[in-house]
């Protein structure tokens, strides 16, 4: 039980760390926001792809495939816009999001069956809540370029939809136990 709790904590607590934050005194400019946008989408592509391959539940596999597909499309829109604008993505100084994502993926890979499904869905709930909060509270107010702002605003409803599906799957898995969401 202790091992399960520590793995769950690893999957949920550092979600905010997946969203790279600028170092103290570092301005949150458009190149940094583009890098954060790209890293966030890349992280969920990786997580979704793992879910699509490893989940026990068909619903969780389908959810994983959906988020991987959606985040690939959104990441490409961001990359295309950055190229059009001549913006070179610049990760924040001291960005630890890749290390945190690797830890999350290792913890998920250590789980199997219904335990994997629940851990993945719980991670996705926390991840999407953190992403939505970061967009609304930190990123949108800092974006200078109107095209970039429009793109980020355009994708918020998709992130909200992903959150709602993850929350539904989490309830389903809790209500019916290990055989839920098949």
The beta strands (E) that lie in 39-103 are given as: none
Reduce the DSSP state of residue 63 to 3 states and report it.
helix
Distance CA 22, CA 113 (A): 37
Q: Where do the domains of the chain lie, and which CATH numbers do they carry?
A: 29-179 (1.20.1260.10)
Rounded Cα distance between 104 and 12, Å, is 9
Q: Which residues contact 69 (CB under 8 A, 6 or more apart)?
A: 48
Quick check: 179 pLDDT over 80?
Answer: no
pLDDT band at 6 (very low <50, low <70, confident <90, very high): very low
> What pTM did the predictor assign?
0.84
Residue 8 burial class via C-beta count within 10 angstroms: exposed 0-12, middle 13-18, buried 19 and up: middle
Span 133-155, average pLDDT: 95
* H-assigned helices in 88-136: 97-109, 113-133
pLDDT of residue 64: 98
pLDDT tens per residue across span 24-40: 555 699 999 999 999 99
């Amino acid at each position: 039980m202790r091992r399960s709790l520590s793995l769950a904590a690893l999957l949920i607590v550092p979600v905010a760390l997946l969203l790279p934050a600028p170092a103290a005194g570092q301005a949150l400019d458009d190149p940094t926001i583009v890098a954060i946008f790209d890293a966030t989408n890349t992280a969920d592509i990786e997580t979704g792809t793992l879910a699509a391959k490893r989940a026990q539940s068909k619903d969780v596999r389908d959810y994983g495939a959906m988020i991987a597909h959606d985040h690939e499309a959104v990441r490409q829109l961001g990359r295309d816009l950055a190229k059009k604008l001549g913006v070179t993505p610049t990760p924040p100084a001291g960005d630890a999001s890749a290390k945190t994502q690797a830890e999350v993926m290792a913890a998920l890979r250590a789980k199997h069956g219904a335990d994997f499904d629940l851990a993945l869905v719980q991670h996705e709930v926390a991840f999407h809540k953190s992403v939505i909060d970061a967009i609304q509270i930190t990123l949108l107010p800092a974006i200078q370029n109107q095209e970039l702002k429009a793109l980020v605003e355009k994708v918020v409803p998709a992130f909200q939809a992903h959150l709602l599906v993850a929350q539904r799957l989490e309830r389903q898995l809790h209500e019916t136990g290990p055989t839920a969401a098949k």
